[in-house]
Every structure is written in C-alpha cells, then in structure tokens.
Amino acid sequence: MPSHANLAVQTIDVTKVYRVGHISYSALRGVNLKIGKRELVSVVGPSGSGKSTLLNLIGALDPPTSGRVIIDGVDLRKLNEDRLALLRNQKIGFVYQTFNLIQRLTAVENVEMPLIAGGVPDKIRRSRSLKMLSAVGLADKANKRPTELSGGEQQRVAIARALVTRPALVLGDEPTGNVDSKTTIEILNYIVQVNRTLGTTFVLVTHNPDVANMTHRMITIKDGLIEKEQYIQRMDSYTGS
Amino acid sequence: MRTSDIFKLAFKALRDRKVRSLLTILGIMIGSAIILALIASSSGLSAGVQAQVEKIGANTLTVSSARQFFASGSSGTQNYQLSQQDVNTIKSFQGVSDVIPYYSQRATISYGGNSIEGELIGVDTNALFTMYKGLNLYSGSLPGSYDPSAAAVGYSIAFPTGSSDQLTLNQMISITLGGQTSGTLTFLVKGIFSAYGRVLFSDIDSTIFISLQSAQILLKTQYFSGLYVMTSTAGDVTTVQQEIETYYGTQVRVMNAGSMVSSVESITSQMTVFLGSIGAVSLFVAAVGITNTMFVSVMERTREIGILKALGYKPKQIMGMFLSEAILSGIVGGVGGTILGYVLSFMIGGALPMSGGFGMSRPGQTGSSTTLTPVFTPELIAFSLLFPIGIAVLAGLYPAWRASKMNAVVALKYE
C-alpha cells in the first residue's frame, strides 16, 4: 500500500445513490481506495457492480452522494464546476470503450480538443497533437476522420487525446472492450510503456483478465463495495517507483 | 480557451450540418431583408413626397372648396364655389402677396398614335414659374393669355416613353375631358416644359397648361377649381391659413406645404412601423427557428457535450461554443439579409432597370416621375446588420445554457 503523501487517488467512505423517481439504487456503498502515483491499477467486477460509477467519481465527472474523493491531494468537494473542469483538463485523461471521438473532426483535431480548452496556441497544440499521434503509430492518419479509421485506430486516437495534456492520471473505462486481441496487446503495451517512462497513473476498468494481469494491482468490486485487492506478480522486471 | 478557437469550432459544427444551417440562416436573411427593404422603401417614399412639396415652396397655401359629402339638411346642398370675389377677398388678407386661381380637370391627350392620361390646368401661365419652382421651358414659349387655342405641355406628353410619335411645336393635339364636362377640344402646342416630376397630387410632366381665360371659356364656368395663395414670407403661412379658415369656416379646405409634409410623414411613419413590424415578425419566426434548430443540435450532440466535459471544457466554454454557432448564423444571416434587402428595396421602388420594362406604367407616364428611391441611413444599415445577430444570440441563449448545464455522466451514456 502506497504512503499517504504519494497518493494519486484516494476515496474515503464514498457512496453513490442514484434516484429514479421513488426508486433509489446504491451503486457504491462505502468505498475506501488508495491509488499511488505511478501505479497501474485495474478495477474488475461483474456488470453493475459500480466500477464505472467509481471511475466517474475519480474522474471528477460526478460528485459522490457521501464521502470524499481526493485527487492528487485535492478534495474535490472544495472545487466548483470551473475548477473541476480545469482539474479534468490538466490532470486527468479519459479513455472509453466506445472511443468517444467527435465524428466531424479529424484525428488530429480530436487530439487537439483538450488543448483548445486549455487555451494552448494553434501551432503549439498542432505539433504536440501530431507528435502524440505518431507516438501511438498514427502519424499517417492524422487527417482522417473517425469513420475512416478502424476500431483499434480510433482507440489509439482516443489514447493520444487522453495523453496529449500529459495528465498525471488516466482513467480507462473498458479501453480494450471494442478492439481485437492484437490491438488490445498493442494498447496495453503502450499503456505500460507510458506508465513506466512518464510515471502516469492508470486506472483501468475492465472485464478482460489479460488486461488485469498486466497491471500492478487488481481491485475487485462487487455490489458497490471493494471485495478484494490483489497485487499481480508480473512477468517483466517492473520494480515500482 | 481562445475566442478564435470557439468560432472555428462553431463554424465546423455548422458546416457539418450544411442544409440545416443554411435553412436557419435563410430564415434570418428573409427577416432582415424584409425589414431593411420595407423601411428603406417607405422612407424613400417619404423623402420623395417631401421633395415634391419643396417644389411648391413653404410660402404657398392651396385653397379648394370643401367637398361636403355629408352635408346636413337636404342632399342637394351645393359645395361652396370659389370665384374672382374670393380671389379679391383673400388678396386683401394680411400677409398675402398673391392669389393665383386655377382650373384643373382630368383629361386624355391624344395626337398621332399617342393617347395620354393627364391633367388639364388653366392658370395665368405667367404665374407658372412662381408656382412650380425650378420649372422651365424645354422649347417654345408660354401660351398668351388671350390665345384660347394655345397650350404648353409637360415633357412626357411631348416625349412619351415607348412611343416613336413625338410632339413638335405648333402641332395640333386633341383633349378629351373627364368629369362633368365632356367633348373634344383642340389646341396648338406653343411650348414644351422640361421634365419636372410630380408635385403633390399632379404630375406636371403629363399636364397640359392653358391660360386661365381659355379654360374659363372652354370649361364654361367662372368658378375656379382652387386658389394658390402665396404669402410674403414662409412665417406668414400659418396666420394666413388661420385667417382664411376663420373667414370661410368649413366651406373651403386649406392646405399648406408644411402640413402636407407632416401629414405625409405621419402616414409614412405609420407605414414604416407597420411594414417594419411585419419584418420583425418574420425575424421573430426566424428566431424561433434558430431556437428549434439549436435544441435539436444540442440534443443530437449530447454525447459530444459529455466528451467536452470529460476533456475539461468549462460550462461557460460549452455555452460559448453553442452560442457562437447562433452568432455565426446571425452574422451570415444579417449580412446576407442586408444585401438581399438592398436589392429588394430597389425592386419595390421599381428603380432598378429590370423593373422598368414591365409595362406597369400607363402610356405617357415616365418611369422617373413615379419611381421611388429607397433611402438607406447608416442607422438602418447598422440595424439590419446587428439586429439579426442580437436576435440569434437571444434565440441561442437557452439551448446553449441547457448544453452547458448537462450532466457529464448522463451525457456520455446518451445514444
């Protein structure tokens, strides 16, 4: 377990209750979680266990019903809408199962989107985005629209978009759920490489045991609670931070 | 986030849905064009009337017998008729410098193959240049007072548009009078006036002038159609008008150029308001169109809004992005509408060459005297450019706000 000062993410007694009319449903029922900086973590569990809900809370997209979410030492309760947006823009990258690219924009324009929000000047953001695209092996597809790209290529564009701001934390919601096994391995290798070289913290929600096995730690969630946490014995020579 | 980036993204979004964007813009354009064209035309009309009034001058009054349509008592009540006695009476009033009596009658003027609808005016021909400022002879001379067959004609009687037959001096023309006196009269053309245009209710260019004495003989009446009263100064007009009205009561109708200007102005300003509000209504309809388009657009792009939120766009930035789509539509619609309205107002005025040849005018009526030149003030142009933008902003405000307030998680799940 990482030490307190070195935490990327901490949740304290986090609950989330969804209310639809008179029916309320507890998605999270008191989650205490600590994820260290430079950690590569997977969150697994059956459908409806609360994995994605947890990811949304950590990603500052949704407030918890109770409890606290602390990202990089900052309690999210203390931030207003604008500060939360700024936090997402500067510190967090998202990768989704469905890629969530903007269809009318080209690959490079999609990668530029978070930099535009941050007010990065035209030329700088274009060159950073192109660099990012070539890092994920899509230098020649920069001006293609998502519809002209394969699923794997689209996900690599999404990863480039998540990493272009050099965030401290990247959250993946089934990032390999819609790509073939070959691309899954490519993407995972790239994630491991980024984690190792840049020290980016990754939290990956997944159903895929292969994905979980490549991470440092696997957190299992069931019925809105952490059921177990296990450190993965890795085949490579990863030594931690 | 930079403003230029916001507009670039807005432009890309509009371009992505070309047909819908163009239809929205078309709605704005039509509204803006209608407002501009109608206001420019009606202020052109007002300016045209004002110019006509100015030809008469500010120190002129017109006295005519009041038409007593609803006279009390028997239906046989005669209108008051103006005679030489009234000329003398009014001449004696304080501030009056001259009184010029005249006869006027609608007439059809024919010669060669031409038949022209116009007016016959009998007046002391020497007074013509006093009555109509800037009028002068194109050729020939004024008919003498005691030459009952002599006449001077307006420019478009002599040179009708679209006819090869043209009048020369000393040519015979025949006149068929309208109204109660009928029969054909024959005159010798002694003079032709230069083109002059309209003055209040008469078109000088299609008028035939004869001397007062000739008219008196030919029309067989000693009662005048009206009197031109010239005052010593423009300042006397109101007092003289009051004097005449006090003396005659409701038997005569007195008009002065100034009051005509104000009555015309009140009519045209009412017309401007009326027509302008038609344009405003169409712009309002366009605004509803923008709101509708934007709502659909916000709904369709719910997922995109979720993505933007996840990428760290602030609510204000998201609102700005959607609002600037409305602003862009407003700018394009406003500029396009202003251009369209400019063209349209000339089509309404009929001053464009393309509308001149439609044969709308009667033979003998020249285009120049009946067309209307639209008036574009800088304020009007600015209004027609900026108002649509303001409308677009208002129309886009609520949908854009809705977009900015969307819950990110819900938006990201939207299919």
Residue-level pLDDT at B51: 73
Q: Which residues, numbered 3 to 62 in chain A, qualify as contacts with chain B under a Cβ-Cβ cut-off of 8 Å? A: 56, 59, 61-62
The answer on B85 and B179 residing in a single domain is yes
Sequence letter at residue B40: A
B383 domain-assigned: yes
Quote the crossing angle between the two packed helices A181-198 and A151-163, to the nearest 10°: 10
Contacts of B319 in chain A (CB under 8 A): none
The answer on B73 and B49 residing in a single domain is no
B-interface mutation test, from A16, A61, A159, most B Cβ less than 10 A away: A61
**CA–CA min distance A110, chain B (Å):** 11
Which range of residues forms the domain containing residue B199? 60-232
The answer on B181 and B33 residing in a single domain is no
Residue B319's pLDDT band (cuts 50, 70, 90): very high
- Give the DSSP letter of residue B224: B
The answer on B225 and B77 residing in a single domain is yes
Q: Which residues, numbered 163 to 202 in chain A, qualify as contacts with chain B under a Cβ-Cβ cut-off of 8 Å? A: 165
Residue-level pLDDT at A3: 55
Given an 8 Å threshold on Cβ–Cβ distance, is B409 in contact with A86? no
Nearest to B393 by CA among B337, B329, B348: B329
Given an 8 Å threshold on Cβ–Cβ distance, is B309 in contact with A85? yes
The answer on B305 and B195 residing in a single domain is no
Rama region for B59: left / alpha / beta (φ>0; ψ in -120 to 50; rest): alpha
B17 domain-assigned: yes
Sheet with A217-222: strands ordered across: A92-96, A169-173, A201-205, A40-44, A217-222, A225-231
What whole-number distance in Å separates Cα of residue A131 and Cα of residue A133? 5
A124 at B interface, C-beta within 8 A: no
The answer on B226 and B88 residing in a single domain is yes
Given an 8 Å threshold on Cβ–Cβ distance, is A117 in contact with B308? yes
Exposure on the CB side of residue A62, measured as CA atoms within 13 A: 22
What whole-number distance in Å separates Cα of residue A54 and Cα of residue A16? 9
Contacts of A59 in chain B (CB under 8 A): 310
**CA–CA min distance A88, chain B (Å):** 5
What whole-number distance in Å separates Cα of residue A143 and Cα of residue A108? 6
Of the partner residues A62, A89, A121, the one whose CB lies closest to the CB of residue B312:
A89
**Picking from A67-81, A206-220, B145-159, which range would have the lowest pLDDT averaged per residue?**
B145-159
Contacts of A122 in chain B (CB under 8 A): 5
pLDDT (tens digit per residue) in B47-61? 777 777 677 777 788
The answer on B174 and B76 residing in a single domain is yes
B347 domain-assigned: yes
The answer on B64 and B43 residing in a single domain is no
The answer on B19 and B139 residing in a single domain is no
Residue A95, beta-bridge partner list:
A172
Given an 8 Å threshold on Cβ–Cβ distance, is B309 in contact with A104? no
A-interface mutation test, from B2, B3, B311, most A Cβ less than 10 A away: B311
Residue-level pLDDT at B365: 36
Sequence letter at residue B259: S
| Interface of chain B toward chain A, CB-CB under 8 angstroms | 1-2, 5, 9, 12-13, 16, 303-304, 306-317, 407-409, 412
Q: Kindly report the average pLDDT of chain B as a whole number.
A: 82
Contacts of B317 in chain A (CB under 8 A): 85, 117
B-interface mutation test, from A90, A109, A113, most B Cβ less than 10 A away: A113
**CA–CA min distance A24, chain B (Å):** 16
What whole-number distance in Å separates Cα of residue A106 and Cα of residue A85? 24
Residue-level pLDDT at B71: 43
What whole-number distance in Å separates Cα of residue B291 and Cα of residue A31? 44
Residue in this structure with the two tokens 């007062």, named with its chain if needed:
B212
Given an 8 Å threshold on Cβ–Cβ distance, is A118 in contact with B312? yes
The answer on B175 and B31 residing in a single domain is no
**Positions of E strands within A83-212:** 92-96, 169-173, 201-205
A137 or B364, greater pLDDT: A137
What whole-number distance in Å separates Cα of residue B177 and Cα of residue B185? 8
Given an 8 Å threshold on Cβ–Cβ distance, is B315 in contact with A82? yes
Residue A55 has pLDDT above 90, yes or no: yes
Residue B226 has pLDDT above 70, yes or no: yes
Given an 8 Å threshold on Cβ–Cβ distance, is B309 in contact with A116? no
B273 or A184, greater pLDDT: A184
Highest mean pLDDT among A83-97, B24-38, B160-174, B276-290: A83-97
Residue-level pLDDT at A239: 43
The answer on B272 and B294 residing in a single domain is yes
Given an 8 Å threshold on Cβ–Cβ distance, is A116 in contact with B13? no
Of the partner residues B1, B16, B303, the one whose CB lies closest to the CB of residue A117:
B1
Contacts of A104 in chain B (CB under 8 A): 12-13, 16
A123 at B interface, C-beta within 8 A: no
Given an 8 Å threshold on Cβ–Cβ distance, is B311 in contact with A114? yes
Nearest to A212 by CA among A71, A40, A53: A40
**What is the number of domains present in chain B?**
2
A37-66+80-231 belongs to which homologous superfamily?
Answer: P-loop containing nucleotide triphosphate hydrolases (3.40.50.300)
A88 at B interface, C-beta within 8 A: yes
B252 domain-assigned: no
User: Do the beta carbons of residue B210 and residue B189 sit within 8 Å?
Assistant: no
**CA–CA min distance B16, chain A (Å):** 7
Residue A68 has pLDDT above 90, yes or no: yes
Residue B327 has pLDDT above 60, yes or no: yes
Average the pLDDT over A78-86 and give the result: 95
Token code pair at residue A217: 């730690």
The answer on B74 and B37 residing in a single domain is no
pLDDT (tens digit per residue) in B351-401? 433 333 333 333 333 333 445 788 899 999 999 999 999 998 999 999 999
Give the other-Cβ count within 10 Å of B39's Cβ: 25
3-state helix, strand, coil in chain A (%, to 5): 40, 30, 35
